[in-house]
Every structure is written in C-alpha cells, then in structure tokens.
Structure 1
Amino acid sequence: MPYWLMKSEPDELSIHDLQRLGETRWDGVRNYQARNFLRTMQPGDLFFFYHSSCPEPGIAGIGRISNGHYPDPVALQPDSHYFDAKASAEKNPWSAVDVSFVEAFPRVLPLGLLKQQSALLELPLVQKGSRLSVMPVSEAQWQAILALR
C-alpha cells in the first residue's frame, strides 16, 4: 500500500477538524508534481497529516484516502483563494481527493525531530528547499515516523 504525507495549514484544516468532520475534500493543491501524486492515490491509502505554516509545524496524525481523485471544484470558484481563471468545467487541470480521519497523535511530531532521524534523510519533507504539499512516503519512512509517536 502506498503511503503519503499531505500538508495543510491548521487554520484552514487541522487534524482535529478532520476528526470532527470524519471526512472532507482535500483541495487547493496548485503544484503540478503534488497534483500528480494526488492522481495516483487510491481509496484506502494512508497519509501523515502535516500541519504547516504554523508555530509548531509537524506531523499531527494519520488520515486515509476515502475517494480517488476528481476535478477540484474550488478551481472554478472565483471567491476561492484557489481559483484558477484558466480552469473551466471542461478543462480543469487540478485534482482533489476525499480524505477521512484515522488518528490524531498525542503530540505533534515537530519538523526538527523528523530532520534528526537518519531513516528520513531521503524524505522530501526534510530536504532543503522542498515545498511540496503532497509527497510519497516509503514503507521504511512510514514505520520510522510511527515509532516516534
């Protein structure tokens, strides 16, 4: 089973929001490489939920892909921060997936801690200059992160 890491700003969607909602749409991805990763996700895939752009960035829990990719509807909404004037109902280059809650960690696993783990040296998250909001996680990296809980 493929594993993933997906970033969200907690004031937009946090692990606790997902816990409260149970399931929601993951949209607004506006990087082609990250979008391509979304398009390979399958229902049942697990992902680490990463809180970004906040006082304590880090992995806050686990979610599950509950529905595979489909055209991102917010790309067509002019009042959305993620609106794309070039997108249309016939030709929408962006994708969204539905996600569901699995687990909130007792504490956020901070980025500094993740960077100290030799098993995570190849994880794009800990590499300098990596800004992807969606990225694959290997089985070994998944297990190494789970061991930090």
Structure 2
Amino acid sequence: MKNNYWLIKEEPTKYSYNDLINDKKTVWDGVGNNLALKHIRKILKGDDLLYYHTGKEKSIIGIAKVIRGSYSDPNKDDKKFAVFDIKPVKKLTRSVTLKEIKSNIFFNDFDLVRIPRLSVMPVTKEYWSEIIKLSNKKYDV
C-alpha cells in the first residue's frame, strides 16, 4: 500500500517542529477549515508529512509521519472535527521557503501557492520529491 503525502502548517510560536521533536509525538488538532478537514479525513497511518512553519518563517522545516490516521476529535461534540497523530522523522537539511517555492514555476499549481490559508493539504509525489531535492541544495537569496 502506497502512502500519501501531505503538508501541515503551524505557527512556530504555538507548536514548532522542535516542540514535536521534544514531545516525540502529538495529536494534530485545532483545524476548523472545511477543506482542511476534508483532507484530514483522508489521512492514513503511515502517510508522510511536510511540516511548515507559518508566521515570519514561512518555510517547510521538517518531515513527520502519521502514526494514527484520521479519527473524530475526542474533545469536540461535533463529529465533523477530525484529528490525527504524528511523530517527527527529521529536520530538513535546509528549510525550503515559501518565497523559493513561489519563485519556481514547477510549483504554480501547488495548494501552498494557490490556497495560502489552507492548513492541511495534499502534496503530489512530484512536489514532495522536488521539495526534498531543494532542501539538500544551497539556496542563493
């Protein structure tokens, strides 16, 4: 069974990738956007995640893994809310900035560029591979 690829966003002052490393795992919750919730409902154990820092950083910082697929948020009465559990895999060799992604025509159809406020989104295998490749290259500003 092939795994899926996703990008999740968080404000680093709220919960950074380093916090995830320190905690070793967490429940990914607090998402209220309907499209993001639709994506969350498709997330399965074993899926891979790009961890994106919002705010001033605006960059993909690390890789995480889904350790429990989508389930109803136990802290909400409304079953429309879904959560999933993740663990850190590794920090990227170099963060890949939103500016860098936007300046690359390859990413023009990427939801990160097209729907900037979306907090959970699918990532194609091609986008995933290119982001990993970029994270291993020196970036000239």
Could you state the TM-score of these two structures normalised by the residue count of structure 2?
A: 0.88
Contact 1:47/1:64 (CA < 8 Å) preserved in 2?
yes
| Structure 1 residues 69-89: Cα deviation after superposition (integer angstroms, max 9, x where no partner) | 122234x4xxxxxxxxxxx2x
Contact 1:120/1:144 (CA < 8 Å) preserved in 2?
no
CA distance in 1, matches of 2:73, 2:53: 21
In structure 2, what is the equivalent of residue 58 of structure 1? 59
What 5-or-longer segments of structure 2 have no aligned partner? 136-141
| C-alpha deviation, 1:92, in angstroms | 2.5
Equivalenced residues, count: 133
Contact 1:25/1:98 (CA < 8 Å) preserved in 2?
yes
| C-alpha deviation, 1:108, in angstroms | 2.3
CA distance in 1, matches of 2:71, 2:111: 25
CA distance in 1, matches of 2:58, 2:116: 14
SS of 2:35 mapped into structure 1: helix
Contact 1:119/1:140 (CA < 8 Å) preserved in 2?
no
| C-alpha deviation, 1:132, in angstroms | 0.6
Q: Which runs of 4+ in 1 moved over 4 A?
A: none
In structure 2, what is the equivalent of residue 114 of structure 1? 101
CA RMSD, Structure 1 to Structure 2 (Å): 1.3
What 5-or-longer segments of structure 1 have no aligned partner? 77-87
SS of 2:86 mapped into structure 1: strand
Could you state the TM-score of these two structures normalised by the residue count of structure 1?
A: 0.84
